Structure 1
Amino acid sequence: MPSRELDIVPRPRRADLTGEAVRLEAPFMVGTDNDAGAVVALLSDLLERETNERVVRSNEESDVRLTIDDAASSLVDDSEGYVLEADGNGIIVRSPTADGLRHGCQTIVGGLERRNGDWRFPAGEIRDWPATRWRGFMLDPARGILPLERVKRRIDQAARAKLNRLHLHLLDHESYALESEAFPELNRGPDGENRPAYSSEEIEDLIEYAGRRGIEILPEVDVPGHAGHVLETYPELQCTVEDGKPSDGTLCLGTTRTDEFVETLLGEVIELFPFETVHVGGDEWAMNCSWNECSRCRERMVREGSETVAEHFYEFVRRLHETLEANDRRLMCWNDQIDIAEAPDVPRDALVQFWRVAGNGRGPVEGCSLERFLEEEFEVVNSYVYAAYVNGWISEEYLLGWEPRSRPSIPDERAEQVIGGELLAWEPAAEETREYFERALPSAIPVFADRLWNPDPIADRRSFATALTRHALGPFVPAGFDIYRELGGMIIPTEGENAPSPPAHAHRSFRDRSPREARDDYEDTLETLGSLSEADEVVYPETAAAYRDCLEWLVGVADREGRGVIDRP
Structure 2
Amino acid sequence: MLLGAGVLVAAGAVGVTVAFWPVGSTGTDTGDDTGRDIASTGAARSSDVDADGGDNSASTASRAPSPAPSPARVYPLSKTPRTIPAVREHVPARGPGWRPVSTSRVVVTAGGLADEGKLLAGELRMTYGGTVAPRAGDVQLKLDPGQAAKGPESYTLTVKSGRVTVAAPAEAGVFYGTRTLKQEVAGGSTASEGVVRDRPAKAQRGLMLDIARKHFTAAWIEDRVRELGDLKFNELGLHFSDDQGFRIASDTHPEVVSGDHLTKAEVRRILALAASRHITVVPEIDSPGHLGAVLAAHPDLQLKNAQGTAARGAIDISEPGAAKIVDDLLGEYADLFPGASWHLGGDEYRALAVSNPAASYPQLAAAATAKYGSGADVSDLATGWLNDRAATVRAHNRTNLRAWNDGFYKSSSVQPGKDIQVAYWTGKEIGARQPTAYLSAGRKVVNYNDEYLYYVLGQPNTFVYPTGERIYKQWTPRVLRGSTAVSASYDGQILGGVFAVWCDLAGSQTQNQVAAGIRMPLRATVQKLWDPRAQPPLSWTDFKKLATRLG
Q: Aligning the two structures, in what range does the TM-score lie when normalised by the shorter sequence?
A: 0.7 to 0.9
Q: Equivalent of 1:387, from 452, 457, 460?
A: 452
Alignment of 1:460-499 (within 5 A): 460-461=538-539, 462-471=541-550, 473=551
Give 2:438's aligned residue. Answer: 373
The alignment partner of 2:282 has SS state of strand
Alignment of 1:538-557 (within 5 A): none
For residues 232-275 of structure 1, give each alpha carbon's deviation from its aligned partner in whole angstroms, at most 9, with x where no partner exists.
22101112445241212211111111111111110111111112
Q: By how many angstroms is 1:221 displaced?
A: 0.2
Paired AA for residue 285 in structure 2:
V
Paired AA for residue 492 in structure 2:
E
For residues 459-483 of structure 1, give each alpha carbon's deviation from its aligned partner in whole angstroms, at most 9, with x where no partner exists.
4313322222223x2xxxxxxxxxx
Give 1:310's aligned residue. Answer: 379
Paired AA for residue 467 in structure 2:
S
Give 1:153's aligned residue. Answer: 223
Give 2:390's aligned residue. Answer: 321
* Higher relative contact order, chain-length normalized (CA < 8 Å, sep 6+): 1
Query: Quick check: 134-143 or 457-466, which moved more?
Result: 457-466
Q: By how many angstroms is 1:350 displaced?
A: 0.4
Paired AA for residue 463 in structure 1:
D
Give 2:199's aligned residue. Answer: 129
The alignment partner of 1:16 has SS state of strand
Give 2:532's aligned residue. Answer: 455
In the alignment, does 2:60 pair up with 1:60?
no
How far apart, in 2, do the equivalents of 1:237 and 1:87 lie?
A: 66
Contact residue 403 and residue 455 of structure 1 kept, 8 A: yes
Contact residue 376 and residue 413 of structure 2 kept, 8 A: no
Q: Equivalent of 1:90, from 163, 168, 174?
A: 163
How far apart, in 2, do the equivalents of 1:427 and 1:2 lie?
A: 49
Q: Equivalent of 2:281, from 209, 213, 217?
A: 217
Note the aligned Cα RMSD (angstroms).
Answer: 2.4
How far apart, in 1, do the equivalents of 2:436 and 2:413 lie?
A: 13
The alignment partner of 1:353 has SS state of strand
Contact residue 4 and residue 11 of structure 1 kept, 8 A: no
Q: By how many angstroms is 1:404 displaced?
A: 0.6
Paired AA for residue 91 in structure 1:
V
Contact residue 154 and residue 198 of structure 2 kept, 8 A: yes
Alignment of 1:326-475 (within 5 A): 326-330=395-399, 331-340=401-410, 345-357=415-427, 359=428, 362-365=429-432, 368-391=433-456, 392-400=464-472, 401-408=474-481, 409-434=485-510, 435-456=512-533, 457-461=535-539, 462-471=541-550, 473=551
Give 1:296's aligned residue. Answer: 363
Paired AA for residue 57 in structure 1:
G
How far apart, in 2, do the equivalents of 1:298 and 1:424 lie?
A: 34
Q: By how many angstroms is 1:303 displaced?
A: 0.4
Give 2:185's aligned residue. Answer: 112
In the alignment, does 2:348 pair up with 1:284?
yes
Paired AA for residue 217 in structure 1:
V
Contact residue 97 and residue 162 of structure 2 kept, 8 A: no
Structure with the higher fraction of residues in helix conformation: 1
Q: By how many angstroms is 1:343 displaced?
A: 7.4
The alignment partner of 1:439 has SS state of helix
How far apart, in 2, do the equivalents of 1:46 and 1:287 lie?
A: 52
In the alignment, does 2:259 pair up with 1:200?
no
The alignment partner of 1:390 has SS state of strand
Shift of the 444–397 alpha-carbon distance from structure 1 to 2, 3 Å rule, reads closer
For residues 372-430 of structure 1, give each alpha carbon's deviation from its aligned partner in whole angstroms, at most 9, with x where no partner exists.
11111211111111221123242344311321134443333321111111111112433
Q: By how many angstroms is 1:30 displaced?
A: 0.6
Give 2:39's aligned residue. Answer: none
Contact residue 170 and residue 178 of structure 1 kept, 8 A: yes
Paired AA for residue 300 in structure 2:
E
Paired AA for residue 275 in structure 1:
G
Shift of the 243–387 alpha-carbon distance from structure 1 to 2, 3 Å rule, reads closer
Give 1:10's aligned residue. Answer: 85
Shift of the 166–396 alpha-carbon distance from structure 1 to 2, 3 Å rule, reads closer
Give 1:172's aligned residue. Answer: 242
Paired AA for residue 324 in structure 1:
V
Q: By how many angstroms is 1:170 displaced?
A: 0.9
Query: Quick check: 448-457 or 36-45, which moved more?
Result: 36-45
Q: By how many angstroms is 1:222 displaced?
A: 0.8
How far apart, in 2, do the equivalents of 1:270 and 1:264 lie?
A: 10
User: Could you state the TM-score of these two structures normalised by the residue count of structure 2?
Assistant: 0.77
Shift of the 256–343 alpha-carbon distance from structure 1 to 2, 3 Å rule, reads closer
Q: Equivalent of 2:98, from 18, 22, 40?
A: 22
The alignment partner of 1:72 has SS state of helix
Shift of the 111–268 alpha-carbon distance from structure 1 to 2, 3 Å rule, reads same
Q: Equivalent of 2:122, from 45, 48, 63?
A: 45
How far apart, in 2, do the equivalents of 1:216 and 1:90 lie?
A: 32
Contact residue 140 and residue 166 of structure 2 kept, 8 A: yes
Q: Equivalent of 1:229, from 293, 297, 300?
A: 293
Paired AA for residue 298 in structure 1:
A
Unaligned runs of 5+ in 2: 1-75, 457-463
Shift of the 377–11 alpha-carbon distance from structure 1 to 2, 3 Å rule, reads same
How far apart, in 2, do the equivalents of 1:448 and 1:2 lie?
A: 31
How far apart, in 2, do the equivalents of 1:443 and 1:197 lie?
A: 28
Query: Quick check: 38-47 or 6-15, which moved more?
Result: 38-47
How far apart, in 1, do the equivalents of 2:163 and 2:398 lie?
A: 43
How far apart, in 1, do the equivalents of 2:144 and 2:114 lie?
A: 14
The alignment partner of 2:499 has SS state of strand
Question: Once the two structures are aligned, what percentage of the paired residues are identical?
Answer: 23
The alignment partner of 1:346 has SS state of coil
Paired AA for residue 44 in structure 1:
A
